[in-house]
Structure 1
Amino acid sequence: MIILTLTRTFKSGFQNFFRNGSLTVAAVSILTLALLIISVILVISISANMGLKYVQDKIDIRVYFKGNVEEQDIMAFRSEIQKYKEVKAAEYISKNKALDDFKAANAGKPDILKAVEAVEENPLLASVNIKAANPEQYDIIAKSVENSSYRDNIASINYQQYKLVIDRFNTTIKTIRKTGAFLFVLFSLIAILITFNVIRMTIFNHGTEIEIMRLVGASNNFIRLPFVFEGVIYGIFAAVISIILLYPIMKVVTPYVVGSAYVQIIQADFIRYFVLIFIAQLFVGVFLGIISSILAIRRYLKV
């Protein structure tokens, strides 16, 4: 009996799917659009989050001290700042070490090296590089440094330029998520409405058949399952079409959303997470299809 029920379910579901013509095309198209939107947002969000984490892991706070500050005072500052729970490490960079690092970084630029050597005194300042235990704690550390008892000895703190980059990343991610969530909800509702109407038309077209099944004692599930499976088919078709269209669409859309510099990164992430993205599309597509079917069945199929 179970095998018979499943066989009829699959057969009737496929027949209904292909018989509905333009309504099927409309339902699958809208479902595909909804899945494409959520997929593009998902991939871009993953890449943006990874980019943000990469930037956060690479940055530090560099505190530069005035030229007349003694080394022992700088070391005292370093010892104090290391006591903060937010600080993972604090490295002292002397003037000489800073100069050596500068020369190494500009080894292929003789004009710059000559200009530095022409200056009698070392023009670079001693500094302390501070690494946070958690990238989100740099704001706390920067404010603590600015308000410390050593603030009069400090020439500058270079955190603000990094903060701008991080804030820009965060703003972009939030905008993408909010816009994506709105569009996904909008098109999901439209997809549910259209699929709902397709299932409704199918139920009406099978009115006589449904009545006969009732008269011969068919169970409620035996009558309902083909319509539920029809909704599942809409979701599966939409997911397959969506994953096929997703990569070329992303190549076009990504430069306008996050800038051309991140196109290759996001495309690489798409390939890396291909299976995960397809599973997510399949799950959402089938879920929306089932929801549409259940709503139509409850509304129009009195069994």
Structure 2
Amino acid sequence: MSSNDVEMAEPRSPTTNETDSETTDSDEQLELAAQVEVLTEENRRLREEYVRARQSRYQATALGLAAVGIIAALGGVLFPDARDVLVALGATGLFGAVLTYYLTPSQFVAADVGERVYTAGATNVAAIADELGLRDDRVYVPGKTVPARLYVPQNTAYSVPDDEAGPIVVDDDSRGLLLEATGAELFDEFEQAVTGAIATEPAALASQLTDGLVEQFELAQRADADIDAADGRATISITGSAFGDIDRIDHPIPSFLAVGFAAGLDQPVTLEVTPGDDRADWLVTCRWNPETAPEDE
């Protein structure tokens, strides 16, 4: 067999264009990896700065209370006639400073993390309710062992079940779901922090709940209540939700409000959430039976 009959294939060397393309792809990957690393580091730095900023607020408050306490105590020495009052004020200021300093949170959870956790649970509950053919009605039922539970009925006409009947209610006249409400745990925390007792009149109760929503939990930037006790209605306008859209099932903001009204008025409360207007992002409407609710004085 001659060498002319068989052609030996020689390896094809890469062209200049192919080499340049591979080099470009490699450079782009390295650049993207570097950008990801920079963004990750920047995100970590921003989170640390946020934590330090929040901690500095508490520490500044502690220093302010300590300064008031020291000045009041010195005033008690300089002004004998007002010594009792000034010494008491000084002791209160110093005690508050110590508490504020040592109770400063060392870790904060970003709102977007909390929202993602809530979203997963809400999506699952909404899917189950849809699969069971339940209505969009949301009823918060006061409980014996918890402030209130969320009842989602199946039928248009329904009887509110006993608060211990859930989670799946099979009675013909109250068939549906009876679930632990997101706002129940929040209300427990709120009840421990509120000054005095929880109000039982709609207007006073609404004032307490909106203050807790904005000042204590910081779930919204603003919450304003419009109360019609005679009609058994409270509409709260919400601006600046920290957890995104609040028209999802058992969202922390409307859930906390509905649980609060159900527990404070000691009767079932129906909940409706609608988009707001140019004055607010959302409108949360809670309704109850005005004939059995305490009247505002």
TM-score range (shorter-chain normalised) is under 0.3
User: TM-score, normalising length from structure 1?
Assistant: 0.22
User: TM-score, normalising length from structure 2?
Assistant: 0.22
Higher RCO (Cα < 8 Å, 6 or more apart): 1
